[in-house]
Amino acid sequence: MYNKKTTIDQMGQEVTHRYPPETIISLVPSQTEFLFSLGLESKIVGITKFCIHPKTLVKHKKRIGGTKNFKPDAIARLQPDLIVGNKEENEEQGIRTLKNQFPVWMSDISTLSDAYAMMQQVGAITGKEAEAKLIVDRIKECFQSLEIKKRKTALYFIWREPYMLAAGDTFINDIMLLAGYDNLLVSEKRYPALEADALKAYAPECVLLSSEPFPFTEKHFEQFSLMFPTAEIKIVDGEMFSWYGSRLLQAPAYLQTLI
């Protein structure tokens, strides 16, 4: 008989699972990368089609669909001891279905502090507390080294047609603040869709066009230059602003190049 562990996830739900888990499925790309960083490669049995890091290792794992349209049958065949998901990235109904069969631990992340807590808690539920602490401590050191010369107002676009942006109460907003960008939509919630005429009135100093989920490129500069003629327009690496696992080890150095 194996040991069991009961914990409370970041949504306040009780989760009882085999400890340490021998078979893990991750439903979130940034958390998948973190699980690999903890040294759990042999335990990870299933990931989503969007889990792309670490590139040399994810190619050997079973794909169980997307983050929002994962396949319960494919998951059931893998018989996971633990499934790791996220409130924002996974559909509520799909998670409910999985919880009827398997232990599902959910993260809920809006700030860098939430990300640290997630990593420490995932370390605890997988028997990798020491490894998780090392990663979190290193990320904290990296962020402490950021040097902001001047704060700038900004808008952060994640989608086109319709225009969707990262507003307040998002992890992206927290990273923007740490990088010296004052989000002009901080009083809005989550990811509002706004018309061009409404956006023009904000007159940001910087327009940040994310590489994901919509793949903005320089070919989109003209339409934004017309909308914001005085703004500095940049393509930014979406992973560095929105991935809340071990990718954060690389984020501060990248953000410093923008600053």
pTM of the entire predicted model: 0.94
Topology of the domain comprising 4-142: Rossmann fold (3.40.50)
Contact by Cβ (8 Å): 72, 93: no
The highest-level CATH class for domain 152-258 is: alpha beta
Would you list the domain boundaries of the chain?
Answer: 4-142, 152-258
Give the number of other CB atoms < 10 A from CB of residue 193: 10
- Rounded to 10°, the helix 251-258/129-144 angle is 10
pLDDT tens-place string over residues 140-177: 999 999 999 899 999 999 999 999 999 999 999 999 99
- Is 1 a residue whose pLDDT tops 70? no
Distance CA 41, CA 52 (A): 14
4-142 and 152-258 in the same fold: yes
pLDDT digits (tens, 9 = 90+) for 210-219: 999 999 999 9
Which conformational region is residue 189 in: left (phi greater than 0), alpha (psi within -120 to 50 degrees), or beta? beta
Of 105, 129, 104, nearest in space to 119 by CA: 129
Q: Are strands 104-107 and 152-159 parallel, antiparallel or unpaired?
A: unpaired
Query: Per-residue pLDDT tens for 75-127?
Result: 999 999 999 999 999 999 999 999 999 999 999 999 999 999 999 999 999 99
Predicted confidence at residue 259, as pLDDT, reads 85
